[in-house]
Structure 1
Amino acid sequence: MTENKLFRKLTWNIFKRIALLQILALIVASAFALILIRSKIKEVAATQVVEQAFYKIQTHLNYNELEADSFCDVLDSKLSFIAIMKGSFKKVCIADYLQSHEISDIMYGHQKLSLKESKVLYNKRINIKSLYHQSVLTIDGIEYSVFLLFKPHYVIEFLLKTNKSILLYIFPILFLSVLLSLYTSIKVASPLKSILSKIISFSDSYKQNNILSDINNQVQSEWEIIEKNIDDNEYKKRKLQKTLVKENNKFQALLDAISDSIIAVDNEGKILFANNAFINDFNVKGMISSEAHYLDFIRNIKLKSFIDGAIEEGQSSFSSEFTIDFSPNRIKDYYVKTNPLKDNKGRTYATVCVLHDLTELKVAQKMREDFVTNVSHEIRTPLTAIKGYVQTLEAIMPDLDEAKKEIMGTINHNCDRLTQLFNDVLSLSMIENIVDIQLTQVDLKELTEQCLRDVSQIHSRSTANVKTSYQADHIISNDKMLEHIITNLVSNAFRYGGANIEIQVNWSEDQNSNYLTVKDNGVGIEAKHLPRLFERFYRVDKSRTRDSSGQKGTGLGLAIVKHVVNKLGGKISVDSTLGVGTTFKIELPKRQLV
């Protein structure tokens, strides 16, 4: 049986049970109400008969004596028997239509009455019902016990009349109540079906089959199924709560174990969570409330703009460096990276900010930069002096033999090589410490041609042929850093490509990036060397340490290119085949001038 048929069957069963119970309850309630109403009506009718009899007796006594024979004239078709007693005095009036055996039964009924009570009693022996009444009557200030007997036909006739009226009112009310109960049953059955449907949809396939089987076989009622599943869900909820608390504790422990400051803010800037490093770094007092805003703790206009921009963008990761002044004596540098938090529908509801403390690293970098600058200066100064003395000796002693000239040349060459090495080390150190890159619009053709002229002058003895092509005219970048890239890549091609090679320099672009390709058809590089090609001082082999002009490389050129490309936010790749040539490709993202 399909699920829809089962639910229709279930709805019909629920409707039948609820409707039947309500209708039975209505019938029972109506019968009980009818009995109460008839009893009340009978009591009212009996009271009315008794009051009329007492009124007739009182009226008669106003004009006649109690002992007079005329007192018994108060008897009529309703009132059959009167007995007034006080001590030894007794006045009895008996209707003529009473039989002798009925009189004895009257006294039998009298014994079942208490004072001031009216009751219709059934006499089994004479097969008749009579209304008995016993009360107190005050005559001339004297209280007498009065016992009255009435024929009940008046009460019975009154009940018969009222029964028709009662039924005329009860049946329409009962009919409307039945209709209302049917409507209520439908209204109750429909939500139960919806509740069971949701319970099934929340259950796994095994449990779904069990529930459907119970419904089909009527093993359990729908209420039992609902109760059982509510209990199961309550157990699962408690278990899930424990798991969530455990996972939350693990997550918080993981956050607190990270030395970087971490904070998450929602789209309104309110703090969702933060780790101990953030609390300690930013001097947070006490617990962070759920209504706390990140600006309560981070008071830096540039960092505020950065975080607000990340929240507004909501789709990408951003990173930058900032200096935060906590106090005149406490200034820290941070590398800040943001990442969006998304829900299961891919919508960003919060942003995570990771603040990596660069203060000690900056100090170390400054010390290294100063050291490299000082060492380079201190070494280049004596190197310049040595080279000057060599050139002086060559000038004042022009008739030196070949052996001495070779020694002088070697000294001069190594001075140049050491100078170039320290120049490269200094350049690499300066590039690594660049924070703010000055961007301008660069004419690619003009810059490239200038670099090629400089390189060609250095490698004037080379027979390489350089070709250029430009599918892009301009780029928003730093001209000095681009000059480092072009010069080093083309110099490498000149230096290690071999004789009579062709070097191709090409600029191109697409919607998002600019591309520089430097390709040669030289000797190529073995694949095993490519992963380490951009390491400092790494050389492929000793045979490649000297270029075609006889000069040795420093092993820093490609490392400088790699660092410059990274600073510009780009990527560099190399492809090379022995005997075919080498191709370097650089991708630089397009930027806009601010």
Structure 2
Amino acid sequence: MTKPFVRRMIWVCLLALAGFFIIVRGIDTILYDQQTAHLQSVYDTWHDLGGDTTQTKVFAEDSKTTITVLDGTAKTTRNRIVQKVVDNDRTRAGHGNRVVVNGTKEQVYIGRIGEVFIGVWQPQASLWRTAPAWGWAFTVVYWLIAGGFLLWLWRRHHYWVKHLAHMTANIQRIRHGEPVTPLILTPHSPFLPMGEALNSANSAVTHLRHKVALRQASFDRLIDHLPQGVMLIDADRQVILSNQALGTLIGHPVAPGHHNYLDDIKTYALARMIEHTFRKQKNHHREITLIATQKAVDANVISLAPDDQHQQVLVILYDVTFLRQVERMQLDFVGNVSHELKTPVTAITGFAETLLNGAMDDEEARVKFLQIIYNESTRLTQLINDILTLSRPENEALTLEAVQPKALIDEAITSLAQPIEEKHLTVTNQLAPTLTIRSDAVKLSQVIRNLLNNAVFYNRLGGQVTISAQPDETELILTFQDTGIGIAENDQERIFERFYRVDKARSRHNGGTGLGLAIVAEMVKQLGGEITLKSQLGVGSTFTVTLPVN
């Protein structure tokens, strides 16, 4: 029990005790008034019957009632007491009074006839003296009622404490997001409105928590799927938010939970930007290279500073490594194009100048130089066409139509009849004439022509070129196998790069531009297929092209 409740119970007990004595006192007062009225009626009766005032002591019909004539001679103790009361004028005639005679409480009514006072005596009436059985019955009933009231108070207190504790526990569970325990209340319970309000609050909080959880999950998914690396740092330099992209950029996953950002950021330039942002509350932007992964990133460090105590810094890292690689490739491509264009242009210019300076008069020299100029111009035209082919956008629309690969291969073989004859090559086209697929005829033709060019120009004398196919319901596998010089293993990874040549001198002698296999790889990619190479130096090469049939 609580101290306030104990104090309350003590006060109730004291009030019950005081009430008991007040009721008993009230009953005695009522008995006093009734007894006074009775004694007065006895006196009136005695007076009406002609009471003898010469006698000092007369007994009425009631043996418990005594009438005493107070003649001034105090012969008995009762007379002396009443006489003293009269002499002291402590009461008036016609009123009752209580006195103690020989240790016994008695009640006297004092009347007056002339100068003579008459005292009518009777033992004092009280609850315990008059009706002791009723007194005990009243006491038992009263204290049973008082005890029942105390028990009711205790049970009420226990009811309130129990329900308040239950509701307090439910409020704590709602606060911590835990399920509440049910509370059964009667329709007349004083806690019914509070319980309904608590259930309503629980439903509202649960709904809000669910909405917040959904929004947080959506936000977390959004952050995790952002291509940019994101990190949020609080004023204590603790990481409170990060995503997977940031872990990829810095080279290791970011540990969950709050921790110092220096545990993850090992690049001094980026850490310095973050510290400057905290100190100056100013945004910073810079391109840096991360030490662990050597990735080039565009770093934005943004100050979120409502005040100094709640300052936060947002770090956003955008991976620009691919862009820088593309820029380098573009620069390399421009450099290679310039070099490749410069070679035939220089040859054409040089030989034309030689002819203009007098070599045209020499028939043999003129024919030789003009042939060289023609070959170089042809090579220049082929180079320009190849560059234009590679410059077409990847998302260029395909023109799908029914295509017979065997016919395209036969056309390519016909266009290469002269070098095939000069090298005494045996070219075998094993494709069935009825084989048909839906594809872009122009792009597929470029793939076939470039692969056949490589197979012919890099083949040995008397070698073989075999073109075969393995069709099924979903894809077509074209195989171009030759018995040429082959490609070294360390060159096979770069064979599809632009302007890359295994044998630079021989490729230029054959009129190659270094773009043929790059064009093949690009066209196959646009057609939705893939190309693989299997080659052995001095034995030959096999190019396998896998294309969708629909």
Q: TM-score, normalised by structure 2?
A: 0.47
Relative contact order, CA 8 A, sep 6+: which one is greater? 1
